[in-house]
């Protein structure tokens, strides 16, 4: 193809743009043409000049010449123009992209035909009962699909989006396997960066995360004898990236990863964070941008006491006070200290013992620090092994439905650890009072912030909860919300 280059005609849009299917490996009817190099994914070169010439490569595959006619840009399958079905039945294949069952292209045989065919074939055998609609052949194909999905997850993780069409348990199992694989790799290599981002997870399996507790760094082998300062701790500073998933509830096992230093939950569907998050001893960087958080736990303010703590909490639907926050003379001074600055407070909302909202007026006569009997019983019930069943029973109507809420809280407490009263420090299950406090909080790197003097801060609501009606901590700046 050096001297005799011909001008190629423009590719007409009307014709089928997809190249002729040459590698339908799953279709047993077509003979795979294995004389071509299978290592390249593109179709073999085919030119008009050597189309019908019996070249050395081409002489074996007579089928091709029979099937195709015309030039390479306009070639058509012989006999397809007439539109008559040759009667050869095509198999049903599953289209992975759309998730819809359909016959392969150009088929004239419908599902009914196929079932009828099967019926006829069994009639010939005459002694078998009617076959079920899901014939063995189709079941086999379903199995093949699962295998294909498995292969896909093996090669395309972590950037594949496994179709929702896969049945739920299968999909979960595949995702869990993918997560396990990544964690295995990290454990094996001593890699502190655990990247589980963009995997369309809606939850993170706790068993997998638990194994991260045992992660240790690997020793580096030195060419030169190590000096005094080349020693370093093998204790890892774990960095866990869970961004770009669909996680709806905070993965509780994260709270047990004592070595966690960076946690990214960017772009998920979290609606609340557990207060126990602030107890992670080495957490210095957390990214919770792009979630559905309305407020943050009050305990997280403690994290700002750490010298190098950073938080990114942008793009969340934080609740804002209805009335304007009164001007605060400290704001100018604050720009140089970069600690959270208290701005305003919401009126406390009181709850009855069973968790229902009390009237707006503070119940003066009943203020005491004594926990309710329900609270005591819940604390004990928290340790019961079949708590979840009891809660289900209550929600289903087998028990008092008012207990469903408190039991759900107890379950949360077993999952995320006890709540601690932000006023008196007692641990409790059911909050009796709660209110929001708005703080001015630096966003992004504090070092940059301090040097550039840019007000890159927003007032962020922090949710304070108390264990009794007396546990309120009222400051005079109160705004409506």
Partner 1 sequence: MTVRSPTDSTPAAGIDSASSSISPMTNPSPFVTLISSDGFEFHVRRSAACVSGTIRRMLNTRSNFSESVTGVCHLENLNAMVLEKVVEYFYYNEKHKDSRDVPDMEIPSELCLELLMAAEYLDT
Nearer to partner 1, 146 or 367 (CB): 367
Residue 465, Cβ neighbours under 10 Å: how many?
23
Q: Determine if 384 is a binding residue for partner 1 (CB under 8 A).
A: yes
Nearer to partner 1, 119 or 384 (CB): 384
- In angstroms, give the least distance from the CB of 289 to partner 1: 40
Nearer to partner 1, 68 or 351 (CB): 351
Residues touching partner 1, count (CB under 8 A): 23
Q: Determine if 408 is a binding residue for partner 1 (CB under 8 A).
A: no
Question: What's the rounded Cα separation, in Å, for the pair 302 and 279?
Answer: 9
Question: What's the rounded Cα separation, in Å, for the pair 20 and 178?
Answer: 34
Whether the Cβ atoms of residue 243 and residue 198 lie closer than 8 Å to each other: yes
- What order do you get walking across the sheet with 310-312 strand by strand? 193-195, 238-241, 260-264, 285-287, 310-312
CA angle 348/350/352 to nearest 5° reads 170
Q: Determine if 276 is a binding residue for partner 1 (CB under 8 A).
A: no
Nearer to partner 1, 55 or 368 (CB): 368
Cα 265 to chain centroid distance, Å, stands at 10
Q: Determine if 230 is a binding residue for partner 1 (CB under 8 A).
A: no
Nearer to partner 1, 470 or 481 (CB): 470
Whether the Cβ atoms of residue 233 and residue 282 lie closer than 8 Å to each other: no
- In angstroms, give the least distance from the CB of 476 to partner 1: 23
Strands 433-442 vs 341-346: parallel, antiparallel or unpaired: antiparallel
Nearer to partner 1, 158 or 405 (CB): 405
Q: Determine if 242 is a binding residue for partner 1 (CB under 8 A).
A: no
Of 321, 368, 361, nearest to 345 by C-alpha is: 321
- In angstroms, give the least distance from the CB of 370 to partner 1: 5
Binding mask 95-124 for partner 1 (x = CB under 8 A): ------------------------------
Core vs surface per residue 35-70: b (16+ CB within 10 A) or e: eeeeeeeeeeebeeeebeeeeeebeeeeeeeebbbe
Compute CA distances 137 → 91, 104, 141, 351, 446, whole Å: 10, 16, 6, 61, 63
Among 29, 125, 357, 380, binds partner 1 (CB under 8 A): 380
Q: Determine if 353 is a binding residue for partner 1 (CB under 8 A).
A: yes
Whether the Cβ atoms of residue 301 and residue 439 lie closer than 8 Å to each other: yes
Among 20, 158, 399, 444, binds partner 1 (CB under 8 A): 399
Among 402, 448, 452, 474, binds partner 1 (CB under 8 A): 402
Among 378, 429, 436, 460, binds partner 1 (CB under 8 A): 378
Among 7, 223, 383, 476, binds partner 1 (CB under 8 A): 383
Residue 120, Cβ neighbours under 10 Å: how many?
9
Q: Determine if 381 is a binding residue for partner 1 (CB under 8 A).
A: yes
Among 81, 127, 373, 475, binds partner 1 (CB under 8 A): 373
Question: What's the rounded Cα separation, in Å, for the pair 287 and 379?
Answer: 33
- In angstroms, give the least distance from the CB of 390 to partner 1: 7
Q: Determine if 368 is a binding residue for partner 1 (CB under 8 A).
A: yes
Q: Determine if 450 is a binding residue for partner 1 (CB under 8 A).
A: no
Whether the Cβ atoms of residue 41 and residue 19 lie closer than 8 Å to each other: no
Please, which residues bridge with residue 357 across strands? 351
Site residues (CB under 8 A) for partner 1, limited to 333-352: 352
Nearer to partner 1, 67 or 382 (CB): 382
What are the residues binding partner 1 (CB under 8 A)? Answer: 352-354, 368-374, 376-381, 383-384, 390, 399-400, 402-403
């Amino acid at each position: 193809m050096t001297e005799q280059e011909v001008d190629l005609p423009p590719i007409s849009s009307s014709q089928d743009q997809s190249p002729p299917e040459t590698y339908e490996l799953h279709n047993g009817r077509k003979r795979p043409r294995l004389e071509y190099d299978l290592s390249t994914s593109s179709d073999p070169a085919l030119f008009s000049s050597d189309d019908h010439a019996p070249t050395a490569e081409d002489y074996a595959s007579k089928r091709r010449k029979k099937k195709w006619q015309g030039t390479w840009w306009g070639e058509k399958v012989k006999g397809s123009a007439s539109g008559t079905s040759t009667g050869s039945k095509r198999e049903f294949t599953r289209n992975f992209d759309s998730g819809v069952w359909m016959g392969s292209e150009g088929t004239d045989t419908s599902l009914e035909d196929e079932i009828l065919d099967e019926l006829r074939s069994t009639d010939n055998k005459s002694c078998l009962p009617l076959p079920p609609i899901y014939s063995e052949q189709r079941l086999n194909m379903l199995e093949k699909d699962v295998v294909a999905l498995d292969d896909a997850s093996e090669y395309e993780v972590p950037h594949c989006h496994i179709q929702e069409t896969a049945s739920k348990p299968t999909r979960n199992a595949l995702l869990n396997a993918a997560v396990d694989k990544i964690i295995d790799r990290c454990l094996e290599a001593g890699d502190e960066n655990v990247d589980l981002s963009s995997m369309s997870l809606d939850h993170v399996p706790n068993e997998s995360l638990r194994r991260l507790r045992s992660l240790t760094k690997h020793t580096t082998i030195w060419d030169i004898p190590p000096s005094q300062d080349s020693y370093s701790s093998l204790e890892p500073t774990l960095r866990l990236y869970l961004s770009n998933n669909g996680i709806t509830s905070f993965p509780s096992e994260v709270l047990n990863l004592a070595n966690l230093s960076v946690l990214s939950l960017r772009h998920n569907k979290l609606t609340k964070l557990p207060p126990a998050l602030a107890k992670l001893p080495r957490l210095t960087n957390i990214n919770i941008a792009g979630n559905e958080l309305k407020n943050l736990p009050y305990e997280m303010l403690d994290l700002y006491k750490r010298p190098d703590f950073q938080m990114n909490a942008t793009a969340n639907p934080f609740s804002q006070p209805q009335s304007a926050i009164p001007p605060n003379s400290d704001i100018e001074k604050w720009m140089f200290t970069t600690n959270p600055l208290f701005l305003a407070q919401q009126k406390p909302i009181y709850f009855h013992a069973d968790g229902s909202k009390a009237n707006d007026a503070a119940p003066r006569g009943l203020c005491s620090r004594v926990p309710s009997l329900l609270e005591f019983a819940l604390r004990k019930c928290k340790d019961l092994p079949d708590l979840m069943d009891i809660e289900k029973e209550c929600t289903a109507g087998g028990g008092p439905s008012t207990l469903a809420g408190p039991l759900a809280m107890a379950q949360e407490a077993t999952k995320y650890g006890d709540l601690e009263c932000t006023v008196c420090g007692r641990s409790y299950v059911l909050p009796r009072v709660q209110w929001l406090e708005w703080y001015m909080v630096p966003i992004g790197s504090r070092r940059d912030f301090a040097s550039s003097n840019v007000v890159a801060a927003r007032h962020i609501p922090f949710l304070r909860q108390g264990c009794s009606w007396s546990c309120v901590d009222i400051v005079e700046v109160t705004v409506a919300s």
